[in-house]
Every structure is written in structure tokens, then in C-alpha cells.
Amino acid sequence: MRLAPTYQPPVPLSQRLNKKAILGSLCTAFTVPPGVDTLYLTGAAAGGRCYASPSNPFNYNWTPGVSNVAIGCSPSGAAIATNQNSSVTTAVVLDAVGQKVSSVNGREQSAIAAYSGGYCTRVADNGFVVCSGSSYGYWSADFLKTRSSLPTYASRSGIAMKPVARNAATADNRAAFASAATLYWFDGQGGWRSKSDASLGGQCFRVNGYFVAPTTTGGRCKIHFRDENDATATDWTTALVEDVAGFSVLNIDYANGLYVATGTSGKIWTAATLAGPWTARNSGLASNIYGLARSSTKWVALDSSGSRAVATDPTGAWTVTAGANQACSYQDSFRYDPFSQLFWITAANGYLYYSANGADFSSATTPENYTYAIALHPLGLLCVGSGYFWLQTGSAAYRVFSTSYDGGPLVVRDASGVELYRLAGGLQAGPGTGGSGGSSEGRPCRGQQYGRPAPGLGGSGGVGTIIPGFYPGGLVNNASDAGGGAAIQLSVLIANEGLYGVKQPGGAGAGSYNINVGAGASIFSPASTGDVEPPGPGGGMPSVSSSADGGGGAGEGVVRAAISVTPGQTIYVSPGLAHGAYLNGKAPQDGFCMLEWEERK
């Protein structure tokens, strides 16, 4: 007699997910593990700001000019722009994945010391930042949330940095820069070390795993170089580029076993190793060559007059095209972008030009006439203007970033920029009205000044307390404090697999009428009452006074939303950036993102 097979109930998803990754607060690149075709996302978008009589989101002196803006972008897309305006320097985070601008750490008080930014900014995935202005500079291990002074300031485009991984320790950080007479480097062991050289050119480059600093010591064209991974060497190696006076190296790059350096008065040299020997080549250019970029098939040198030389083999002939508008005056202003497969120059006249072949440049279509700084991002070209921040993805294609006080969305994109998933950020409050909780499903939680809104997900704003429930929140009372909208608890959502992947609108902020009011909370924890800041990620900002300040709404949340992926695929994730004032100990909260997957044995 054949026995019937024993019924085996399916293993719940919560028991099959055995691997996870918690992503950072800025853009993060994530490579899908082998054998995985589905990722499960748990997270919340950022919260919105309270009302607090806001004006322009950039009322903290973001008024850039051509010569005082710098952008740094890590390989995964974490980007910071610094702007030196008169005696004030400010810094903002550029989120190209979520298309959002935030002040550093989501706080409006992002001004750093005068004259300490806007000349050069470099960023690593683990939060290591080095930035400099015309008189001072900073370095940081946490995206400028906390900062330490550099020994002195660096020149424009004069900082080199090793691109360490997101989970790298401070001891793994490496950077170098050259001042007028001293070469500094950070080896992760004991702060900044130094080497004196009165003939430094003020530039420092990262090339093929080496830091390289040009010098004319002894009256001859030379370079100093060192292995970026060497934490023990106390000096640099010096190599002669050309035994001639009056010339210096201005830029250097490496590809296909060959170093290519450009210099003053149209000079170009090539070498198989940094130690040389170096061979002078005929570029056909006569002015200083600050710009050097390469695609997979050609090299382009761009000089200070706007003329350019193109070569498929840098040891052979260079073809010159005369120009004027595309003059290059510093190294960071000329780039080749693999995403758009175009050469880009932000010229001295402030316009953005592009070229497919490196010789013929045309003016790009941009959201404003002036482009003050550019940087390479995995999803395009990061651009900063006087009032706009955007990602240029083609000659006439761009995505403008939001600069509002609303919370930034949580967004997942693939390597081509296509959006795979989105959670909406919480909204800023209005005068006397709480901010709505974020929702991408057309059912937001709305805060209001009086009474209880209609039922909906997100929790209720209670008088003097929090009522966990299914009301949007925003109830106020003239006599006592009012809490913002609470949220469904994370433990409840995880326990109910039927709610997996169902987006939960964030709790709404409470409206104000001469009382203290709370903000909305995300799915992770209920909002607090009165003046206490919501503890959970994605929470809105509570009121800062008892006047007409409404509390900010919380970001939308989800538990274990399924995202279809391909093994080995790279995706880019922004957990959502808050943007608003850090006032009286209160601020909106950045979002949160955790990815889970099943690793099959």
C-alpha cells in the first residue's frame, strides 16, 4: 500500500529571510548577491519640518558664483557641495537617487567656518570628507556632521582621496593635498603628516592607486608620488618629468598601462610608470592644459583658451580644434561621464557644454543658464547652479532636485536610473496646521487645527498623550499639548505577513493654536507629545514654540516590500533625506532602509 505524502506547509517568509543589510543615511550602492532575484525592503522616508515661519530653504547664504562652489561625490553617489559666499561657507547634501537637496545632517544650520569650502570637496562612501576654501579647510569622518580643521587650506581641485568602501573604518581613510609650500597626507594612523616643498604647484591627484603632487623643486618639472595604501612611509618618491625650467604638471591620469600628464604652455608627457622615464609629446596646444579626460577610446586635453586636442593613442598624434567659449581654468571643471557617454565642461562663462567626440562642443539644455560646479555620479552628472541642483543625464535631459522642507523620499533605482521603488516623505507643516504624513498611494494622513480627521492609516494625534490607532492625527486642544500622529508599530506589521509590502502612510503632525504640538511618527515608533523629538527614523519635526507652528508629517513606511532584481545587479538606494532647521534641539529625521533576502544553502 502506497502512503500519501505528508503535507508540508510552506515556510513563512519571515523564517526564510536569513540575510540583511542596513543602508546608510546617504545614497548607497548595493550589489545583489549571487542567486538572489528578490530583495525585501523595510524602511521609511524622511519626515517634514515644522512650520516655524520658513522662508527660502537656502536662506543660509547659498548664493554661489563661478569661483566659489565645489562638489564631491563618492563612487556610490553620496555627494556634498560647499559654497563660499563672502565670509560664510555652507554645505549641502545632494541626493541624486531621491532627487533631493538637504543641508548637512538634515539641518538648516549647515554653515561651516568662513572661507573653508567652495574650492575643493572630496567624499568617500564611509563619510570621510575633506573640503577647503580660500583660507581654511575641514575633514570629517561622518559627512561633515562633526568636523576637524585641516592643517591649512588646499588649492582649487587640489585634494586627492582614496574611494574606500561604505563600511571602511577611519583607519582605512586616505587623502592628500598640497598647499603653497607643504604637502599633507592622511594615512589613518595619526592624523595629517607633512612634507615641506616651496615649489609645489598646489595640486594633488589620485591616479591608479597613487597620490601624485606636481612640483618644480630645483627649477625642474617633477612630481612627488606615494602609494595611497601605504600607512607607514614617511616620505614621497620624487621623479623627474622633464629636465627643463619654466614648465609644471597641471593634470595627470592613467589608462591601459600608460600615465598621461598635461602641463603649462601646451605640454603633454607620457610614461609607463610614475618614476618614468617621461616622454614629451606634441599636443599642438599653446596654453595651460588644466583639463584632461578620457573615454574608453580617446583622450581629450582642454586648455585655458578653450582649444582642445584629441588622441586615440596619447603617444601618437593629437588633433587640435580651436575654441573660445569652452576655456578650462581648473581641473574639476572638465569630465567624461560614462553614464551619458559625453565629455562635459563647465566653462568660465558659467555655461555647461557637452561633446560626444571631445572635439565639437555644444551648449547643453539645463534648468538654468549658469552651471557653477560639476561632479561624476553613477547615474549622471551632478550639477550646481545659482538656484537649482540637478542631475544631467544627457545633452538635453536632466532631473531637478527638490529643495523644499518636505521630507525626502526613499527611492531605489537601477544602474540605468529607472526607479524600482518609492516611499513618499512627510510634508512640512503649514501655519497652524500639521504636516501631512507621506503617502504615495493617494491616502495621506492630514494634520489639521481642530477636530479629528477622517479615519485612515497612521495613528492619531492625541491631547496630552498618544493614542496608537488608525486615525491620521492632528487633534489639538487650546488647554494642553497635542501629540502628532502615531504610527502602526513595526512589531505589529512584522507579525502580520498579510501586511508585507503594503505601504503605510506616516503619521500627521498636530496643528497648533498657542500650544506645543508634536510631529508625526513613522512606522517605527509613536510620536511624542509636546516638545519631545520623535525618536524614530522618518519622524517629522515637532514645533519649536507655542505660537502657530504646526508639527511636520512623518515619512511613508513599509515592511518587506518585494523588489525584483537580478543576481550581480547594482542598485542605488536613498533612504530619504530630511531638510530643515535644527532649532531648539529639534529636527526632522532622515529615513531608514533595510534590505533582506534569502540565501539558499
Residue linked to cell 585641516: 150
Q: Average pLDDT in the 530-537 region?
A: 52
Q: Are 33 and 83 in contact (CB under 8 A)?
A: no
In terms of pLDDT, which residue wins out, 285 or 550?
285
Partnered with residue 431 across adjacent β-strands are 549
Cα 23 to chain center, whole Å? Answer: 14
pLDDT at 534: 47
In terms of pLDDT, which residue wins out, 196 or 326?
196
Q: Are 202 and 216 in contact (CB under 8 A)?
A: no
pLDDT at 454: 31
Query: Chain-wide mean pLDDT for the chain?
Result: 84
- Round to the nearest angstrom and report the end-to-end CA distance of the chain: 35
Q: Are 475 and 537 in contact (CB under 8 A)?
A: no
pLDDT over 90 (residue 10): no
pLDDT over 80 (residue 102): yes
Q: What pTM, to 2 d.p., does this model score?
A: 0.90
Q: What is the DSSP string of 582-601?
A: -BTTB-----EEEEEE----
SS3 485: coil
- 72/70 Cα distance (integer angstroms): 7
Listed range (144-158, 180-194, 325-339, 575-589) with the worst mean pLDDT: 575-589
119-165: per-residue pLDDT in tens?
A: 899 999 999 999 998 888 889 998 888 888 899 988 888 899 999 99
pLDDT at 55: 56
pLDDT at 337: 97
pLDDT over 90 (residue 487): no
Partnered with residue 254 across adjacent β-strands are 259
pLDDT over 50 (residue 467): no
pLDDT at 492: 75
> Hey, where are the domains in the chain?
16-54+406-601
Dig out the grid coordinates for 563 from the structure: 523588489
Dig out the grid coordinates for 198 from the structure: 616651496
pLDDT at 255: 96
Dig out the grid coordinates for 201 from the structure: 604647484
Listed range (272-281, 464-473, 495-504, 537-546) with the worst mean pLDDT: 464-473
pLDDT at 100: 92
pLDDT at 465: 35
pLDDT at 3: 65
- 124/179 Cα distance (integer angstroms): 22
pLDDT at 447: 61
Instruction: Give the range with max mean pLDDT: 6-15, 463-472, 478-487.
Output: 6-15
Q: What angle do CA 503, 509, 514 make, to 5 degrees?
A: 175
Could you tell me the pLDDT band of residue 189, with boundaries at 50, 70 and 90? Answer: confident
Q: Are 268 and 283 in contact (CB under 8 A)?
A: yes
Q: Are 476 and 511 in contact (CB under 8 A)?
A: yes
Helices vs strands, H then E, count in the chain: 2, 43
Q: What angle do CA 202, 282, 320 make, to 5 degrees?
A: 95
Q: Is 20 exposed, middle or buried (0-12, 13-18, 19+ CB in 10 A)?
A: exposed
- 588/554 Cα distance (integer angstroms): 9
SS3 content of the chain, % helix, strand, coil (to 5): 5, 35, 60
pLDDT over 90 (residue 73): yes
pLDDT at 548: 65
pLDDT over 50 (residue 94): yes
In terms of pLDDT, which residue wins out, 86 or 36?
36
Strand order in the sheet with 289-294: 289-294, 299-303, 308-311, 319-321
pLDDT at 585: 72
Q: Are 386 and 368 in contact (CB under 8 A)?
A: yes
Of the candidates 516, 452, 515, 457, the one whose C-alpha atom is nearest the C-alpha of residue 486 is 457
pLDDT at 491: 74
